[in-house]
């Protein structure tokens, strides 16, 4: 696949945009197709804002199935499951259960860590080359553990003690005093001082603007569709009209699964619905570092003068309409953790579908069609993994070894 190519990317979320930037940087001509009025309007819109480079352990881990069974009866559960008459859901759940063991989690976490750290270094270069403000900061990330067995396990799993530290409850509160009310309720925390935060929607707009200044780039508003073509290739249409290109990159988030169906390809993707609240908290209640309340799976990130709170994994919720019961559960969890931080009704709720694989490892791969590549399935970590995934994709376009799926 070496040499300059004409490449069309389907999807203007954070994954498609970063892929476009890396591919243009490698000298290719790139067209990005986006069906919405602007980029970054779907899963990339109001996500948790954590660039969680050092903390990339997939959701599938030992003990998660047991925890999830307990949560099923709890109204504030961080994970909820609605079984559907959908063989795709059952296959995904089976793959997820099979990945819920320590060894698979460690192997997959190592793959994600490589992608994340490569992306962190490259994003530094992109920022230095000039990007519009996207509320980027490097405040570090503190993961708070309420259960001591989970804290001890996380402390044992620290791979690089120069860049991650296990802290006592008092040390956690010294790092982030806004959560002082939790001191007696936590077992400890893991602090990763080099982790970052940023607004993903603003980042998408900053990427669009920087790409618009590149001669090899164009953005086309339209609905893309794929179909089997001739000679081992697949055919692309935009708004029903054939669209000529050397290579196609499918990066359409959760919609990628449906887009790949006419090709006879069943991508291992499922939409895990999650929620966020965005608020201007009262003075003194905006955390400086980004914080994860591990046992409740709630993340807190200060973005400018706003606080973004994200949480919940709803399996089997297929649309992005916020469910009032889940929002109420999230607000109740936050009220217990940061009492009085903000008023109800001033917390801009949002819901999105994380495009998740069972293992948490994205599909960055060739396909059985000579002209089709995938960059999909970034799940709960798409912002964090986006730039590293774009570099990996660019290597595959340049001829690097990659598995072919579908």
Ligand X SMILES: Cc1cc2nc3c(=O)[nH]c(=O)nc-3n(C[C@H](O)[C@H](O)[C@H](O)COP(=O)(O)OP(=O)(O)OC[C@H]3O[C@@H](n4cnc5c(N)ncnc54)[C@H](O)[C@@H]3O)c2cc1C
Residue 298 Cβ vs ligand X, minimum distance, rounded to whole Å: 10
Q: Measured from the CB atom, is 44 or 169 closer to ligand X?
A: 44
For residues 253 and 376, the answer to whether their CB atoms sit within 8 Å is yes
Q: Which part of the chain contacts ligand X (CB under 6 A), choosing from 70-78, 119-127, 186-194, 374-382? A: 374-382
Among 5, 9, 11, 357, binds ligand X (CB under 6 A): 11
Residue 204 Cβ vs ligand X, minimum distance, rounded to whole Å: 8
Residue 178 Cβ vs ligand X, minimum distance, rounded to whole Å: 18
* 3-class secondary structure, 307: strand
Q: Measured from the CB atom, is 169 or 297 closer to ligand X?
A: 297
Residue 380 Cβ vs ligand X, minimum distance, rounded to whole Å: 5
Q: Residue 263 carries which DSSP code?
A: G
Using CA atoms, how far residue 397 sits from 247, 340, 362, 369, 402, in Å, is: 9, 51, 17, 14, 10
Give yes or no for residue 384 binding ligand X (CB under 6 A). yes
Of 233, 231, 245, 174, the closest CA to residue 368 belongs to 233
Q: Enumerate residues 37-66 that contact ligand X by CB under 6 A.
A: 41-44, 47-50, 52
Among 9, 99, 334, 380, binds ligand X (CB under 6 A): 380
Give yes or no for residue 289 binding ligand X (CB under 6 A). no
Q: Measured from the CB atom, is 45 or 179 closer to ligand X?
A: 45
Residue 379: phi and psi, rounded to 5, are: 50, -130
What string marks each residue from 210 to 239 as x (binds ligand X by CB under 6 A) or -? -------------xx---------------
Q: Which part of the chain contacts ligand X (CB under 6 A), choosing from 70-78, 251-259, 366-374, 389-397? A: 251-259
Phi-psi region of 316 (alpha: psi -120 to 50; beta: other; left: phi over 0): left
- Distance (Å, rounded) from C-alpha 219 to C-alpha 34? 8
Among 16, 268, 281, 322, binds ligand X (CB under 6 A): 16
Residue 33 Cβ vs ligand X, minimum distance, rounded to whole Å: 5
What string marks each residue from 308 to 327 as x (binds ligand X by CB under 6 A) or -? --x-----------------
Q: Measured from the CB atom, is 187 or 276 closer to ligand X?
A: 276
* 3-class secondary structure, 286: coil
By residue count, the chain amounts to 406
Give yes or no for residue 302 binding ligand X (CB under 6 A). no
Question: How far does CA 274 lie from the centroid of its chain?
Answer: 11
Residue 231 Cβ vs ligand X, minimum distance, rounded to whole Å: 24
**Lookup: tokens for 223:** 């609905």
Q: Who's near 309: CB < 8 A, 6+ residues apart?
A: 276, 277, 278, 279, 298, 299, 300, 330, 334, 347
Q: Residue 136 carries which DSSP code?
A: -
Among 9, 14, 236, 373, binds ligand X (CB under 6 A): 14
Residue 320: count other Cβ atoms within 10 Å of its Cβ. Answer: 17
Of 406, 389, 364, 378, the closest CA to residue 267 belongs to 406
Residue 3 Cβ vs ligand X, minimum distance, rounded to whole Å: 27
**Lookup: tokens for 351:** 């819901």
Q: Enumerate residues 266-285 that contact ligand X by CB under 6 A.
A: 274-276
Q: Which part of the chain contacts ligand X (CB under 6 A), choosing from 6-14, 58-66, 89-97, 168-176? A: 6-14
- Distance (Å, rounded) from C-alpha 18 to C-alpha 208? 9
Q: Which part of the chain contacts ligand X (CB under 6 A), choosing from 22-30, 35-43, 97-105, 155-163? A: 35-43
DSSP secondary structure, 288-327, as one string = SSEEEEGGGTEEEEEETTEEEEEEEEEET--S-SPPHHHH
- How would you class 232 by CB atoms within 10 Å of its CB: exposed for 0-12, middle for 13-18, buried for 19 or more? exposed
Query: Which residues make up the interface to ligand X (CB under 6 A)?
Result: 10-16, 33-36, 41-44, 47-50, 52, 223-224, 251-253, 255, 259, 274-276, 299, 310, 352, 354-355, 378-384
């Amino acid at each position: 696949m070496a040499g300059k190519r004409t490449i069309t990317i389907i999807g203007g979320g954070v994954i498609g945009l970063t892929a476009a930037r890396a591919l243009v940087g490698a000298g290719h001509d790139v067209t990005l197709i986006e069906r919405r009025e602007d980029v970054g309007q779907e899963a990339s819109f109001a996500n948790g804002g954590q660039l969680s480079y050092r903390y990339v352990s997939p959701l599938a881990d030992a003990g998660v199935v047991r925890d999830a069974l307990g949560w099923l009866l709890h109204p504030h559960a961080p994970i909820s499951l609605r079984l559907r008459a959908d063989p795709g859901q059952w296959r995904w759940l089976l793959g997820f259960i099979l990945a819920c063991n320590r060894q698979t989690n460690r192997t997959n976490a190592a793959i994600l860590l490589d992608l994340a750290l490569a992306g962190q270094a490259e994003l530094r270069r992109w920022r230095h080359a000039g990007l519009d403000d996207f509320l980027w900061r490097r405040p570090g990330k503190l993961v708070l553990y309420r259960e001591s067995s989970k804290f001890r396990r996380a402390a044992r799993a620290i791979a690089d003690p120069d860049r991650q530290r296990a802290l006592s409850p008092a040390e956690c509160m010294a790092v982030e005093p806004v959560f002082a009310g939790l001191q007696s309720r936590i077992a400890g925390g893991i602090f990763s001082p080099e982790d970052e935060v940023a607004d993903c929607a603003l980042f998408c707009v900053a990427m669009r603007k920087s790409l618009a200044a590149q001669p090899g780039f164009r953005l086309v508003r339209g609905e893309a569709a794929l179909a089997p073509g001739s000679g081992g290739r697949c055919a692309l249409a935009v708004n029903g009209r054939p669209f000529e290109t050397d290579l196609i990159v499918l990066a359409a988030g959760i919609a990628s699964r449906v887009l790949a169906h006419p090709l006879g390809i069943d991508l291992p993707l499922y939409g895990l619905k999650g929620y966020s609240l965005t608020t201007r908290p009262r003075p003194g209640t905006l955390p400086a570092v980004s914080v994860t309340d591990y046992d409740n799976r709630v993340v807190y990130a200060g973005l400018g003068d706003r606080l973004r709170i994200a949480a919940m994994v709803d399996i089997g919720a297929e649309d992005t309409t916020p469910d009032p019961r889940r929002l109420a559960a999230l607000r109740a969890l936050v009220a217990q953790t940061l009492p009085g931080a903000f008023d109800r009704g001033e917390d801009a709720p949002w819901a999105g579908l994380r495009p998740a694989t069972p293992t948490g490892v994205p599909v960055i791969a060739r396909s059985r069609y000579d002209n089709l590549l995938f960059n999909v399935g970034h799940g709960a970590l798409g912002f964090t993994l986006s730039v590293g995934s774009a570099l990996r994709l660019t290597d595959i376009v340049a001829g690097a070894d990659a598995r072919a799926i579908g």
